[in-house]
């Protein structure tokens, strides 16, 4: 087996190959307020109180609250937001389920609303314009804020609207899907899609707070729950192999929506992401590891048509392709690749990609935001629990994987 390459300059791009294996989460501390790693402070709460993590970004630091019944606790938001007008951005699926609860929690404080159509195919500039119209009608100025109540699509659209309205207004993320609670609501990435590719129009805009109410997972369709698990599994693969082992054992409980298991998975995922965001807010280094499977997955989403594959499903397919590429480079063994496929399949996720064609895959991957000097940089696995971002790989390995998986 060829030796694993050390981190160093990427001959293809001159950029530094990045691999950060030591981003493992650890057990919750027994001492309140104990630091658990760079950029993350776990606040140990009393029983039945939310768990709160704080992402350390200096004067733009913000809390992530995780627990049941949090939409009925407006104090969590009011402490982090200005006191001007509020606009709730949600969609036609979430609004009837949770908008009345949010309104009741805020009592007399007026909440304007913008209810968008549901689905990835609506993550467009045209839909974004609807949010701008609502912001104007509600007279949301810089003393106001946006509340994003929904999954990843709502969070991304609302976040981009907040980033660009009057050159930036405050936003709080209220994620209602597992995928949004463990990934898209945290870290400040906002965007809409373009026909040429996913998330090509966007900005970094950190929220004032993230409030993940576990109760919202009770109404989540099974397919959406499974899609969220793809992002959870990702954290184990890129830097927390202990968590990966726990996921393999706990998968039946997670699929059965065991509240304790879900709470732990969300907290551990957010803790892993918080460290990387604190180290690299704008994705010039280790944060890019969070894109495991995404370069391949985004190509599949775009080629098939947005909404045909859920984002988490496409990430699962991309993760398999990243593992297969890593194996062809001699970094993973056959047993490792089989383990990756097995844990994804155990979550009810697809592991066989659609045949979009090699040429189409190359065309779409060339628009990936990690491309440097015309070279597609990939997140690959040196081992399970250790990932690398690099363009220094044998093109024949990528070509062989594309031919086998999507050709």
Give pLDDT tens digits along the chain (407 positions). 333 333 343 333 333 333 333 333 334 322 233 334 444 444 333 335 689 998 999 989 999 999 999 999 988 888 888 989 999 999 999 999 999 999 999 988 889 999 999 999 999 999 999 999 999 999 999 999 999 999 999 999 999 999 999 999 999 999 999 999 999 999 999 999 998 888 899 999 999 999 999 999 999 999 999 999 999 999 999 999 999 999 999 999 999 999 999 999 999 999 999 999 999 999 888 999 999 999 999 899 888 888 789 999 999 999 999 999 999 999 999 999 999 999 999 999 999 999 999 999 989 988 877 777 878 899 999 999 999 999 889 999 999 999 999 89
Does residue 39 lie in a domain region? no
Do 205 and 242 belong together in one domain? no
Do 244 and 379 belong together in one domain? yes
Active site residue 324: no
Does residue 37 lie in a domain region? no
| Among candidate residues 174, 193, 220, the one where a domain is terminated | 220
Do 249 and 184 belong together in one domain? no
Does residue 40 lie in a domain region? no
> How are beta strands 35-37 and 209-213 bridged, if at all?
unpaired
Catalytic hit among 294, 341, 369, 375: 294
Catalytic hit among 123, 198, 205, 287: 287
- Burial status of residue 113 (CB atoms within 10 A of its CB: 0-12, 13-18, 19 or more): middle
Active site residue 405: no
Domain holding 243: CATH number?
Answer: 1.20.1090.10
> What DSSP element (H or E) covers 203?
strand 197-204
Do 214 and 225 belong together in one domain? no
Do 294 and 390 belong together in one domain? yes
Catalytic hit among 298, 328, 369, 377: 298
Residue identified by tokens 């389920």 is 97
**Count of domains for the chain:** 2
Does residue 22 lie in a domain region? yes
The CA-based angle 46-270-233, given to 5 degrees, is 125
Catalytic hit among 24, 193, 198, 231: 231
pLDDT of residue 329: 96
Does residue 43 lie in a domain region? no
Active site residue 267: no
| Among candidate residues 193, 220, 247, the one where a domain is terminated | 220
Does residue 161 lie in a domain region? yes
Active site residue 110: no
Domain holding 190: CATH number?
Answer: 3.40.50.1970
> What DSSP element (H or E) covers 79?
none
| Among candidate residues 174, 198, 220, the one where a domain is terminated | 220
Does residue 44 lie in a domain region? no
> In three state form, how does the secondary structure of 260-315 look?
HHHHHHHHHHHHHHHHHHHHCCCCCCHHHHHHCCHHHHHHHHHHHCCCCCCHHHHH
pLDDT of residue 5: 33
Give the domain extent around 60: 50-220
Do 242 and 204 belong together in one domain? no
Do 196 and 212 belong together in one domain? yes
Do 12 and 61 belong together in one domain? no
3-state SS assignment for residue 158: helix
DSSP tag of 8? -
Do 210 and 251 belong together in one domain? no
Catalytic hit among 311, 328, 369, 370: 311
Active site residue 123: no
Q: Are 138 and 87 in contact (CB under 8 A)?
A: yes
Strands ordered across the beta sheet of 40-43 = 35-37, 40-43, 51-55, 62-67, 209-213, 170-175, 145-150, 86-91, 111-116
3-state SS assignment for residue 16: strand
Active site residue 194: no
Do 209 and 351 belong together in one domain? no
Catalytic hit among 291, 301, 369, 386: 291
Do 177 and 319 belong together in one domain? no
Does residue 33 lie in a domain region? no
Catalytic hit among 273, 341, 369, 377: 273
Active site residue 189: yes
pLDDT of residue 25: 36
Q: Are 87 and 115 in contact (CB under 8 A)?
A: no
Active site residue 283: yes
Do 198 and 85 belong together in one domain? yes
């Amino acid at each position: 087996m060829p030796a694993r390459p050390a981190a160093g300059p990427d001959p293809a791009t001159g950029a530094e190959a990045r691999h950060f294996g030591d981003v493992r989460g650890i057990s919750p501390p027994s001492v309140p307020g104990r630091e658990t790693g760079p950029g993350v402070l776990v606040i140990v709460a009393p029983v039945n109180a939310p768990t709160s993590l704080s992402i350390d970004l200096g004067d733009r630091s913000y809390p992530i609250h995780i627990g049941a019944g949090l939409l009925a606790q407006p104090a969590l938001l009011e402490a982090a937001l200005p006191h001007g007008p509020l606009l709730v951005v949600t969609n036609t699926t979430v609004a009837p389920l949770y908008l009345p609860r949010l309104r009741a929690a805020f009592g007399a404080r007026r909440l304007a609303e913008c209810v968008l159509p549901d689905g990835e195919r609506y993550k467009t500039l045209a839909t974004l314009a609807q949010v701008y119209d609502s912001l104007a009608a509600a007279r949301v100025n810089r003393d106001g804020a946006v509340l994003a109540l929904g999954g990843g699509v709502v969070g991304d659209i609302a976040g981009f609207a907040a980033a660009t309205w009057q050159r930036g207004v405050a936003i709080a993320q209220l994620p209602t899907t597992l995928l949004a609670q463990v990934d898209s609501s945290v870290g400040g990435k906002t965007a809409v899609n373009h026909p040429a590719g996913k998330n090509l129009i966007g900005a970094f805009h950190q929220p004032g707070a993230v409030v993940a109410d576990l109760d919202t997972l009770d109404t989540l369709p099974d397919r959406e729950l499974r899609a969220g698990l793809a992002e959870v599994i990702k954290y184990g693969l890129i830097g927390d192999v202990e968590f990966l082992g726990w996921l393999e054992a706990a998968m039946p409980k997670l699929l059965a929506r065991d509240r304790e298991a879900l709470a732990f998975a969300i907290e551990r995922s957010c803790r892993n992401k918080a460290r990387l965001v604190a180290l690299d807010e704008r994705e010039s280094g280790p944060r890019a590891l969070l894109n495991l499977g995404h370069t391949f997955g985004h190509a599949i989403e775009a080629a098939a048509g947005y909404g045909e594959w859920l984002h988490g499903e496409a990430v699962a397919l991309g993760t398999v392709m990243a593992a297969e590429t890593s194996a062809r480079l001699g970094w993973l063994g056959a047993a490792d690749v089989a383990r990756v496929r097995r844990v994804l399949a155990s979550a009810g996720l697809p592991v066989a990609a659609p045949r979009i064609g090699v040429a189409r895959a190359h065309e779409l991957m060339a628009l990936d935001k990690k491309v440097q000097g015309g070279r597609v940089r990939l997140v690959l696995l040196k081992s399970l629990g250790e990932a690398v971002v690099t363009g220094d790989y044998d093109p024949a390995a990528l070509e062989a994987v594309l031919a086998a998986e999507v050709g």
